[in-house]
């Protein structure tokens, strides 16, 4: 995934290959979408 989008994940998370990354993202898809949606809806602090 060297040419893909970088997502904020737990510091130090490693995966042996792209398939493992895809599996981790798929497994927690709903959680990540919920967090991204909440972040998008939150007022800006900058």
**pLDDT at res. 39:** 74
**pLDDT at res. 16:** 93
**pLDDT at res. 36:** 85
From residue 29, alpha-carbon distances to 22, 26, 35 in Å are: 10, 5, 10
- Residues (pLDDT < 70) of the chain are 1-2, 6-12, 44-46
**pLDDT at res. 38:** 83
Residues 6+ apart with CB under 8 A from 13: 24
């Amino acid at each position: 995934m060297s040419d893909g989008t970088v997502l904020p994940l737990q510091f130090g998370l490693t995966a042996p290959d792209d398939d493992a990354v895809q599996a981790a993202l798929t497994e927690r898809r709903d959680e990540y979408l919920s967090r991204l949606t909440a972040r998008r809806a939150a007022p800006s602090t900058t």
